[in-house]
Structure 1
Amino acid sequence: MTDVGATMLTEEAGDWAGEPVAALREHWGRESVFAFDRIPSTNDLARELAEAGSPSGTIVLCRQQTAGRGRAGRSWASPAGAGVYLSMAFRLREATVPPLVTVVAGVDLARELNRRFPGLASAVKWPNDLMARERKLGGILAETARVDGREAFLVVGVGINVESGRLPDEVDGAVALADCVGPARLVDVADAVVAGLERRLPRAPTSLDAASLDELDRLDWLKNRWVEHRLSDREPAVGLAAGIAPDGALLLRPRGGALRRVVAGSIALGGS
């Protein structure tokens, strides 16, 4: 473990969102729950803990991230008390299949949040966003940790906007859970996140079966919308989002062209 990681562990908090960490450990059935008031990134610390030997299912959460990030290194606003910022590390049994990991996590998180917070109606935006009321509710970041030179752990970080009044003014296009269903306790949202991540990620699938594809189809926010696919410096490709393949690839139907698979790059609405 780096000196930074070791220093962070000396700053563990005794509670998180008003709940004693000891109670969280008992509720989630593990000792490897680490809570902090303020750290750079829950994913970074979860990865360090995994590389240092922490068990599968280790949880890191905090009230505020100072260097939270999303996909492709984009910054993720994580103001104190405004949301749930939580990462989990799972021991890998076989190689992961990007972007299937974030698609699976997104479906299971949306399913669990919708079950616990009636009226939320969250959905999954390929490849790693959670949407509600046509705006961004949360995001997912999946990374791997290496031990002895091989990928040994999957580290998945989740950020969920909970309290809208605490989100920075510069955060555009976001929505908070409280905007959709009223006040919610951070600890209840965190519990939904843990349950969602633990549904399938401990044995992350490499392909989706018919039942999983049906569930994904119902939660697919992009399906039947015109989108722009951007990849590096290339001209954006415009097409109709036609669903998601069993391996997590986005299916895109360009105007007058054959169906194509998208496994990387960014997707935005537009081009109709």
Structure 2
Amino acid sequence: MSVLKSSPGKEDNRLSAEAIRRPGGRLGHTVIVLPEVGSTNDELKRRAEAGAPEGVVILAESQTRGRGRLQRRWESPRGKDLLASVLLRPGLPAEQAFRITLLAGVAVAETLARDYGLQPRIKWPNDVLVRGRKLCGILAELRAEKGKINYIILGLGINLNLEAEDLPEELRPLAGSVRQELHRPVDRAVFARDLLAGLESRYQALLAGRFSELLSAWHRWAALEGQEVTVGLGRETISGRALGLDQDGALRVWDSMAGIERRIVAGDVQYLREQGG
């Protein structure tokens, strides 16, 4: 699911940079809240190119050109959800960039479960669902030089206070929010600060060489192994059984028609049997 209907509406609680800032933290030491922006990723990318340090976070009450994977539009009602980008400078080889997307999915799932009692599931490659409905999309964009990551802009769109009436009817079964699950509004600043703490913890572990830890956590939240799936690959669609991820974050699928294991770097995955959670 890629497009949310933007509708005017009452702001549940205005974001406060002071309430989100994490003095002394690796991530969130500098927080910028903008009333409206084309894209938080684009705004932070400009600052990264100008030399902004790792850990700068930009949030917006509204985006006019928000996007997800494959340049799909991402829209959200003003002042209701979390539209954020985080600047990372991990110094990793460029081929390991996908680990940052995995890390973000795990951190979001852990925050939803630990702090809100939800049962999220990660859907490869970059979505977080609750009860089969999308709550979060992740977009990591990078600049690399000589095979090494210069910076990564980690974009997060998380439906916190989105209400059913904010969506056209055809999207209501596909997109949910924390508010809809809890039947109460969520303090967006508290969520953002807690999520940054979780991101930092997982990020530090990744940089310390503990990727296997992250991959194990991802598999727990994804509950993917053994699932019957179809994968759209542009003009081709394959069906088979998900085997998990490899060390580069690619999806391993047993292609039931061809009788071989396929390695999927990019594609749209659909579960043939809807997961719980």
Percent identity over paired residues: 32
State which of 208, 211, 214 in structure 1 corresponds to 2:211. Answer: 208
1:232 aligns with 2:234: yes
Match of 1:75 among 70, 73, 76: 73
Q: 1:163 to 1:28 in 2, by over 3 A?
A: farther
What is the TM-score normalised by the length of structure 2?
0.81
Q: How far off its partner does 1:193 sit?
A: 2.6
SS at match of 1:81: coil
CA shift at 1:149, angstroms? 11
Comparing 172-181 with 195-204, greater Cα deviation is found at: 195-204
Cα distance, 1:151–1:127 mapped onto 2, change above 3 Å? same
> Displacement, 1:203?
6.9
CA deviations over 1:171-194 (Å, ceiling 9, x no partner) = 450111112223221112212331
Q: Does residue 255 of structure 2 align to residue 254 of structure 1?
A: yes
* Equivalent in the alignment of 1:177: 178
Q: Which residue is equivalent to 1:243? A: 244
Alignment of 1:17-96 (within 5 A): 17-25=13-21, 32-96=30-94
CA spacing shift, 1:121–1:189, aligned 2, 3 Å: same
- Pick closer, same or farther for the CA change 1:111–1:241 going to 2, 3 Å: same
Q: Is the 8 A contact 1:139 1:160 kept in 2?
A: yes
Give the conservation status (yes or no) of the 8 Å contact 1:109–1:192.
no
Distance 1:221 1:178, change over 3 A: farther
Closer, same or farther: CA 91–189 of 1 in aligned 2, 3 Å: same
User: Comparing 78-87 with 27-36, which one deviates more in the overlay?
Assistant: 27-36
1:130 corresponding residue in structure 2: 128
Which stretch has the larger CA shift, 104-113 or 47-56? 104-113
Are 2:92 and 2:148, in contact at CA under 8 Å, matched by a contact in 1?
no
Q: Which residue is 1:9 aligned to? A: none
Q: Distance in 2 between matches of 1:145 and 1:88?
A: 14
Q: Indicate the residue corresponding to 2:8 in structure 1.
A: none
User: C-alpha distance in 2, partners of 1:252/1:162?
Assistant: 33
User: For the residues of structure 2 that align with 1:167 and 1:20, how far apart are their CA atoms?
Assistant: 23
Cα deviation, residue 117, structure 1: 0.9
Aligned residues of 1:92 and 1:203 also touching (Cα < 8 A): no
Contact 1:162 1:176 in 2 (8 A): yes
Q: What is the aligned partner in structure 1 of residue 9 from structure 2?
A: none
Match of residue 156 from structure 2: 158
Q: How many residues align?
A: 254
Q: Could you tell me which of 220, 223, 246 is aligned with 2:222? A: 220
Amino acid at match of 2:99: L
The 1:214/1:24 distance shift into structure 2, 3 A limit, reads closer
What amino acid sits opposite 2:132 in the alignment?
E
Higher deviation after alignment, 101-110 or 45-54: 101-110
Q: Which residue of 2 aligns with 1:195?
A: 197
Distance 1:23 1:193, change over 3 A: closer
Give the CA deviation at 1:103: 1.6
Which letter maps to 1:208?
F
In structure 1, list runs of 5 or more residues that go unmatched.
1-15
1:103 has 2:102 as partner: yes
Q: Is the 8 A contact 1:33 1:60 kept in 2?
A: yes
TM score, norm. by length of structure 1: 0.82
Deviation per CA, 1:8-31, whole angstroms, max 9, x where unpaired? Answer: xxxxxxxx9435423433567565
Give the direction of change, closer, same or farther, for the CA distance of 1:25–1:94 in structure 2 (3 Å limit): same
Partners of 1:28 and 1:207 in 2: how far apart? Answer: 23
**1:266 to partner: Cα distance:** 1.9
Q: Distance in 2 between matches of 1:17 and 1:177?
A: 15
Mapped to 2, the partners of 1:52 and 1:42 lie a distance apart of: 16
Taking the aligned partners of 2:51 and 2:147, their CA distance within structure 1 comes to 14
